[in-house]
Every structure is written in structure tokens, then in C-alpha cells.
Structure 1
């Protein structure tokens, strides 16, 4: 399923679906950040996705990280709540979401970077190299808040 992201775009369609999503910003011992390249947009992003019934937000973040990157991680902190009404995601099936993401901080405890049906690239990126990658502004905000120590973000 494809998607189009609208970010501060007055032509964005009206949302019709509230969905809680959870991200996990994982750093290794050198400080590199785990990123996955989304197959649906081609952009690099933190691992994350929609919460399933029967799981907590933290469990969702851990599950999504492992599913999308092959890396098993544990949560070490909370980065913030990101609920920007100017970030709209329209899916080809007609669902239109307003962004709502809980973002956690974590560290790897196992696994190897692995591509899959959602991600065609998985890498560890040193903070100094982040500008080389096409990263959506919403993800850049989350990464920037982490790197600046400006968290938890409650917006």
C-alpha cells in the first residue's frame, strides 16, 4: 500500500482516521542512530508503526523496531509525543491519518540489520552524517530533539 505525506501543506486532505503509532530511536554504543529506508516513500526513518490491540505503546515500539530493522532493542527512555495536526498521511486505501506518534529511546540488545517488506535499507548513521540522508521533517524533529537533549517533547 502506498502513501503520500503532507507536511504543512494547505492542499492536504482532511484526516479520517486517528491511529496511535510508536517509534523507537535506537542508538548503539558509538552514538549511531538506527534508520530504515521505507519502501513506500523512499525516505529514511526511525523504526515505528501502528499499535496493535493488546499491546502497550512501549511493546509496539519494540515490535516495530524488530519487524522493520531486524534489531531487537530495549527501551531506555521516552523522547516524546508528536501529534502535529499539520502532518497528514494519505494511504492508497483511502485512510487519511493525522500524525500521532509516541517516540521512545532505546539500545540494541540483539539482531542484525535486515531488509524486509517494509524497509529496503537498514543502517546505523553517525549523527554527523545525518544530513546525507533524505529524512522526513517529522523524523528530523524527533532525532533533533534527541540530539539536543530537548525532551520529553509534549506536542
Structure 2
């Protein structure tokens, strides 16, 4: 299913759903951050997605990381709650979602970076190299909060 993202765009459509989602900012021993390149937008992002009924937000983050990147991770901390009402995602099925993300910090404990039907690129990226990647502004904010040590973000 295709999607179009709007970020602080006055022409964004009005949201019709709010669905909890979780992201996992995975940092390896060298300090590199796990990113995936989304097939639907072509942008690099943290692994994450919608929370399923019956799972916690933390379980969602770990599950989404494995599904989207092939990396098994464990949570080591909490980065923040990101609820910008001006970050809208419009899906081709008519759903228009206001993003609501719980973002956790984690470390890899197994698996291998693997492309799949959602991501056509998966890799660990050193912080010094992040500016050469097309990263969505909401993800860049989350990564920036982590690197600056300004967390938890409660917004």
C-alpha cells in the first residue's frame, strides 16, 4: 500500500485515524545506528510500525525491528513519545493517519541486515555519515535527540 507523508505542511489532508506505533533506534557497539530505506517513500528511517492488539509498545518495537531489518534487538532505554499533529501520513486506501510514535533505544543481539517487502536497504550508519542520507524529518529529530542526549522527549 502506497503512502504520502506530510510534515508541517499546511496543505496536508486532515487525519482520520490515530494509531499507536513504536520505533526502535538500534545502536551497535561502534555507535552506528540501524536504518532501513523504505520502499514506499525511498527515505531512510528507523525500524518501526503499528502496535498490534495484545502486545506492548516495547514488544511492537522489537517485532517491527526484526520484521523490517532482520536484526534481533533488545531494548536498553526509552527515547520518547513523538506525537506531532502536523505529521500526517496518507495511505492509498483512504486512511489518513496522525503519527503517534513511542521510540525506544536498543542494541543488536542477533540476526543480519536483510532487505524485504518493506525495506530495500538495511544498514548500520555512523552518526558522522547521517547527513548524506535522505532521512524523514521526524526520524532525523528522533536520531538528533538521541545523539544530543536530550531525552526522553515527551511531545
User: Smaller-chain TM-score range?
Assistant: over 0.9
Q: Post-superposition shift, 1:99?
A: 1.1
Whole-Å separation in 2 of the counterparts to 1:42 and 1:98: 20
Corresponding residue of 1:42: 42
- Secondary structure at 1:35's aligned position in 2? strand
Corresponding residue of 2:133: 133
Paired residues for 1:1-155 under 5 Å: 1-155=1-155
Aligned residues: 155
For structure 2, the 5+ residue unaligned runs are none
Displaced runs of 4+ in structure 1, greater than 6 A? none
Q: Post-superposition shift, 1:82?
A: 0.1
- Secondary structure at 2:42's aligned position in 1? coil
Whole-Å separation in 2 of the counterparts to 1:112 and 1:129: 21
User: TM-score, normalising length from structure 2?
Assistant: 1.00
Whole-Å separation in 1 of the counterparts to 2:4 and 2:85: 15
For structure 1, the 5+ residue unaligned runs are none
